[in-house]
Amino acid sequence: MEKILIAKIQANQGLNGWLKIYSYSENKEKFSSYTHFFVLHNKNYDQLDIENIIIDKSIKIKFHSINSREEAERFIGKNLYVENDQLEKLNDNEYYWKDLIGLDVYLEEGKKIGVISDIIETGSNDVLVIQGEKELLIPYIYGESIKNIFLNDNRVVIDKIYYE
């Protein structure tokens, strides 16, 4: 099963094995529905079962197998993954970043201008990083800068005004 990067462990939180995590997801509340995460260890994924979770300004997690600050220390800086089928279903015209990165980018008249290499979170709207003849930064505004997304055809169509 494909594993999807969803968060990163930032720091200890107290003395009893709690960890503070940084979410790569817009919907922090979704974390309360997870029962476990995976961490990559020696090229294998180890499952960490959640004992408790607190979601406020940040996300704090207590895993069953981590019961002290010392045990938690070795997880700081590790990425947390979920299985693809744990992700919530999206509405029409909503996409996970993992589905957009790598798509070919075209202008409306059909000219290919590059590939989405990264996405930057800015707060107001995300920005697509497009690698082609030149690097472009295109605001992700569906229906405006982004005219259409065709996942099955591996392509995104953007408004030409953002290329000129």
- From the list 43, 27, 37, 25, the residue with the least C-alpha distance to 63 is 37
pLDDT (average), residues 124-147: 90
DSSP per-residue string spanning the chain: --EEEEEEEEEE-SSSS-EEEEESSS-GGGGGG-SEEEEEETTEEEEEEEEEEEESSSEEEEETT--SHHHHHTTTT-EEEEEGGGSPPPPTT---HHHHTT-EEEETTS-EEEEEEEEE--SSS-EEEEEESS-EEEE--BTTTEEEEEGGGTEEEE-GGGT-
> What is the set of domains in the chain, with CATH numbers?
3-86 (2.40.30.60), 97-162 (2.30.30.240)
Token reading at 70: 């010392």
- What is the distance between the alpha carbons of residues 54 and 59, in angstroms, rounded to a whole number? 6
pLDDT of residue 1 exceeding 70, the answer is no
> Residues 76-101: pLDDT tens digits?
999 999 887 777 777 777 788 888 99
Q: Given this model, what pLDDT does residue 96 score?
A: 80
pLDDT (average), residues 57-66: 92
Token reading at 65: 């197998």
Report the Cα 146 to chain-centroid distance in Å.
20
**Contact indicator for 128, 119 with CB cutoff of 8 Å:** yes
- Between strands 104-107 and 155-158, the pairing is parallel
The one-letter amino acid at 53: I
Average pLDDT taken over every residue of the chain: 89
Residue scoring higher pLDDT (85 or 68): 68
**Contact indicator for 128, 137 with CB cutoff of 8 Å:** yes
Report the predicted TM-score, pTM, of the whole model to 2 decimal places: 0.66
